[in-house]
């Protein structure tokens, strides 16, 4: 295991961007081999899903306060709504001669490496089976038929097609796949909440079994198409009482599966990136994830939003800003509310997706928050980490407590850090022209002995990012995930060693967005999809 841990840490070092040199990448985009954004399994029976999301009437304010609506029935239309709000198309954009899809979930480079699966017993209109979701046509492909009379719980599976990210980002691709997986776990949590359901990450089975359950280890069905890496399995809790999924029963049922469908090839040619297969293998999830559980703090419920938003509308309108106006000021109380929402409270979404202790803390570059000193702040997502971080970070930081007493927020340095934030984020102005930017600092403690934690830390950062996206929209602002940052330059600013326990894994920024008026926006699905029942 130590060897796998070392391989993981070596990958992390090798995939860092430096001020003087970027991580190994293709250097230019090989447009002839741009991956097809949609995976399909040719020959698998297809079940179109209806579009019913407009009929859901759930306020984001309710859900963010931990109050779910009465659970909807687990049936084909509501499964359709779950996939639409988590992984479905949100719009088509057009400019010049090109047209591209945007989805409810964000993705590094809009490359969407994450594929979604449903393993379900027979529901009305959906025979028991293993299904793959195709966002382009909003339908399920039945990859495997399962015995109709078997009793087992419905679960969701996620996989990554690493090639999609490697095409553009080279060696750093694995990190982006993991961040995107975290975003999708968050997107599924909010989508489930619109239906009165919860999703919960399962601590088993391990990666090899999961790949078999989802059929992504079936080399005969894949042929020369790009492989899918099994990531995680999520329980779908559709009734008020928590159902403990009987996974042993499910394993037995899946052994009897009969499979159909052949994966499409996404690119004609592939450039091989040594290091990507190795880190995928090194970080494979074990048969049982036994991570330390969170001590649930009861955080103050968030103040009601000034104007509540329909959750489904908010999810579908979420977009990444490509530029910020450089003038919008965020009121301090809204900023502090957003900060409080990033702490895993007892019942708050999306933190119910797992129960592990938070291991990602937030360095905040506050630029434009009315009533708050611009500067560098630290938000501890687990107050217990204070002594360790105090000992690790630069000794001359101020550590002045900021915000409400219950919020573990500290001012480290009052200063105008706009230029610094942009430089650290690969010279991207979005980190300077916003109201605030974030660097997510992950605890790599114990990673050498438990290398799968590398994935978990990125998933956690993705979950923080997904929450920030929705909070930004609810505040009338816009967020953008930032996967491009100069890792060790951030560590040097904070006074951290470059190969130490604390490693930055993701950046994010929130502010008043500038719209690109040149783009045309088209509806996500043809009108006739609305007639589906």
For the bound state, the minimum distance from the C-beta of residue 104 to ligand FMN, rounded and expressed in Å, comes to 8
Strand 369-370 to 330-331 pairing: parallel
For the bound state, the minimum distance from the C-beta of residue 516 to ligand FMN, rounded and expressed in Å, comes to 11
Task: Indicate which single residue of 354, 480, 502, 524 sits in contact with ligand FMN (rule: CB under 6 A).
Answer: 480
Place of tokens 């007493």: 405
Nearby residues of 353 by Cβ (< 8 Å), 6 or more positions away: 185, 186, 188, 189, 199, 200, 201, 234, 463
Q: Which stretch binds ligand FMN (CB under 6 A): 1-9, 56-64, 102-110, 139-147?
A: 102-110
Q: Which stretch binds ligand FMN (CB under 6 A): 172-180, 206-214, 222-230, 245-253?
A: 172-180
Between residues 345 and 465, which has the closer beta carbon with respect to ligand FMN?
465
For residue 176, state whether it binds ligand FMN (rule: CB under 6 A).
yes
For residue 458, state whether it binds ligand FMN (rule: CB under 6 A).
no
Q: Element (H or E) spanning 440, and its range?
A: strand 436-443
Query: Helix, strand, coil: what percent of the chain each, to 5?
Result: 35, 25, 45
Which tokens is 329 given? 């000021």
For the bound state, the minimum distance from the C-beta of residue 430 to ligand FMN, rounded and expressed in Å, comes to 6
Q: Which of residues 203-232 bind ligand FMN (CB under 6 A)?
A: none
Between residues 430 and 496, which has the closer beta carbon with respect to ligand FMN?
430
Which tokens is 528 given? 């006739």
For residue 106, state whether it binds ligand FMN (rule: CB under 6 A).
yes
For residue 195, state whether it binds ligand FMN (rule: CB under 6 A).
no
Task: Indicate which single residue of 179, 234, 360, 380 sits in contact with ligand FMN (rule: CB under 6 A).
Answer: 179
Nearest-angstrom CA–CA distance, 27 and 21: 12
Q: Element (H or E) spanning 492, and its range?
A: helix 487-494
Between residues 356 and 469, which has the closer beta carbon with respect to ligand FMN?
469
Query: For residues 66 and 144, is the Cβ–Cβ distance under 8 A?
Result: no
For the bound state, the minimum distance from the C-beta of residue 204 to ligand FMN, rounded and expressed in Å, comes to 26
For residue 198, state whether it binds ligand FMN (rule: CB under 6 A).
no
Query: For residues 364 and 414, is the Cβ–Cβ distance under 8 A?
Result: no
Q: Which stretch binds ligand FMN (CB under 6 A): 177-185, 188-196, 363-371, 493-501?
A: 177-185
DSSP state of 188: H
For residue 102, state whether it binds ligand FMN (rule: CB under 6 A).
yes
Between residues 82 and 484, which has the closer beta carbon with respect to ligand FMN?
484
The partner residues of 266 in beta bridges, in order of sequence, read: none
Nearest-angstrom CA–CA distance, 186 and 104: 11
For residue 173, state whether it binds ligand FMN (rule: CB under 6 A).
no
Nearest-angstrom CA–CA distance, 23 and 16: 5
Per-residue binder mask for ligand FMN (CB under 6 A), 303-332, x = binder: ----------------xx------------
Nearby residues of 227 by Cβ (< 8 Å), 6 or more positions away: 161, 162, 163, 216
For residue 350, state whether it binds ligand FMN (rule: CB under 6 A).
no
What is the number of residues in the chain?
A: 533
Q: Which stretch binds ligand FMN (CB under 6 A): 108-116, 326-334, 360-368, 438-446?
A: 108-116
For residue 113, state whether it binds ligand FMN (rule: CB under 6 A).
no
Between residues 60 and 508, which has the closer beta carbon with respect to ligand FMN?
508
Give CA 49 to chain center in angstroms: 24
Q: Which stretch binds ligand FMN (CB under 6 A): 105-113, 203-211, 241-249, 523-531?
A: 105-113
Task: Indicate which single residue of 15, 107, 120, 159 sits in contact with ligand FMN (rule: CB under 6 A).
Answer: 107
Between residues 120 and 283, which has the closer beta carbon with respect to ligand FMN?
283
Q: Which stretch binds ligand FMN (CB under 6 A): 16-24, 101-109, 287-295, 413-421?
A: 101-109
What per-residue string of b and e applies to 486-498 under the rule 16 or more CB within 10 Å gives b? bbbbbbebbebee
For the bound state, the minimum distance from the C-beta of residue 273 to ligand FMN, rounded and expressed in Å, comes to 18
Q: Where are the alpha helices (DSSP H) in 287-415?
A: 311-317, 332-341, 386-392
For residue 428, state whether it binds ligand FMN (rule: CB under 6 A).
yes
Query: For residues 506 and 457, is the Cβ–Cβ distance under 8 A?
Result: no
N-term to C-term CA, the chain: 51
Nearest-angstrom CA–CA distance, 405 and 438: 21
Q: Which stretch binds ligand FMN (CB under 6 A): 53-61, 131-139, 179-187, 449-457?
A: 179-187
Total of residues contacting ligand FMN (CB under 6 A): 20
Task: Please tell me whether residue 235 adopts helix, strand or coil conformation.
Answer: strand
Output the DSSP codes for 19-87.
Answer: TTBPPS--SS--GGGPPPS---EETS-EEE----GGG---BHHHHHTT-PPPPPP-SHHHHHHHHHHHH
Task: Indicate which single residue of 483, 511, 512, 524 sits in contact with ligand FMN (rule: CB under 6 A).
Answer: 483
Q: Which stretch binds ligand FMN (CB under 6 A): 73-81, 104-112, 144-152, 447-455?
A: 104-112
Between residues 166 and 209, which has the closer beta carbon with respect to ligand FMN?
166
Please report, as ranges, the residues that interact with ligand FMN according to CB under 6 A: 102-103, 106-110, 176, 179-180, 183, 319-320, 428, 430, 480-484
């Amino acid at each position: 295991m130590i060897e796998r841990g070392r391989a993981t840490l070596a990958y992390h070092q090798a995939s860092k961007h430096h001020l003087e040199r970027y991580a190994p990448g293709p250097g230019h985009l090989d447009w002839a081999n741009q991956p097809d954004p949609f995976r399909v399994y040719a020959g698998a029976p297809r079940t179109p899903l209806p579009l019913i999301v407009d009929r859901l009437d759930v306020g984001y304010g309710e859900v963010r306060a931990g109050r779910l609506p009465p659970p909807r029935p687990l049936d084909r239309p509501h499964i359709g709504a779950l996939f639409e709000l988590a992984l479905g198309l949100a719009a088509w954009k057009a400019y010049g001669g090109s047209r591209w899809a945007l989805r409810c979930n964000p993705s590094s480079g809009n490359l969407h490496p994450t594929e979604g699966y449903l393993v379900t017993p027979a529901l009305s209109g959906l025979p028991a089976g293993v299904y793959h979701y195709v966002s382009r046509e909003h339908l399920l492909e039945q990859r495997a038929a399962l015995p109709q009379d078997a009793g087992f719980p419905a679960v969701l599976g996620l996989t990554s097609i690493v090639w999609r990210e490697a095409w553009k980002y080279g060696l750093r691709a694995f990190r982006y796949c993991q961040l995107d997986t975290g975003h999708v776990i968050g997107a599924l949590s909010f989508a489930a909440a619109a239906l009165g359901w919860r999703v919960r990450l399962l601590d088993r089975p391990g990666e090899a079994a999961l790949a078999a359950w989802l059929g992504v280890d079936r080399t005969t069905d894949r042929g020369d198409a790009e492989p899918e890496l099994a990531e995680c399995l999520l329980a779908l809790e559709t009734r008020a009482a928590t159902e403990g999924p009987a996974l042993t029963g499910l394993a037995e049922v899946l052994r009897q599966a009969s499979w159909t469908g052949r994966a499409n090839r996404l690119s004609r040619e592939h450039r091989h990136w040594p290091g990507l297969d190795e880190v995928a293998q090194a970080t494979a999830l074990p048969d049982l994830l036994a991570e330390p559980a969170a001590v649930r703090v009861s955080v103050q419920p968030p103040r009601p939003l000034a104007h509540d938003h329909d959750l489904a509308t908010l999810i579908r309108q979420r977009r990444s800003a490509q530029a910020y106006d450089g003038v919008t000021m965020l009121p301090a109380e809204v900023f502090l509310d957003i900060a409080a929402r990033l702490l895993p409270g007892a019942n708050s979404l999306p933190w119910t997706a797992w129960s592990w202790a938070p291991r990602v803390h937030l360095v905040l570059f506050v630029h434009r928050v009315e009533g708050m000193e611009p500067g560098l702040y630290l938000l501890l997502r687990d107050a217990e980490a204070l002594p360790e971080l105090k000992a690790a970070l630069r000794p001359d930081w101020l550590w002045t407590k900021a915000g409400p007493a219950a919020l573990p927020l500290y001012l480290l340095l009052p200063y105008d850090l706009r230029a610094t934030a942009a430089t650290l984020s690969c010279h991207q102005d979005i980190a300077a022209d916003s109201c605030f930017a974030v660097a997510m600092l992950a605890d790599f403690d114990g990673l050498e002995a438990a290398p799968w934690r590398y994935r978990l830390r990125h998933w956690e950062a993705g979950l923080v990012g997904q929450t920030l996206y929705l909070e930004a929209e609810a505040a009338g602002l816009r967020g953008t995930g930032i996967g491009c940052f100069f890792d060790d330059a951030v560590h040097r600013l904070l006074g951290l060693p470059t190969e130490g326990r604390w490693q930055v894994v993701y950046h994010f920024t929130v502010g008043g967005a500038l719209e690109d008026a040149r783009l045309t926006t088209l509806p996500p699905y043809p009108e006739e999809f609305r007639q589906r029942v």
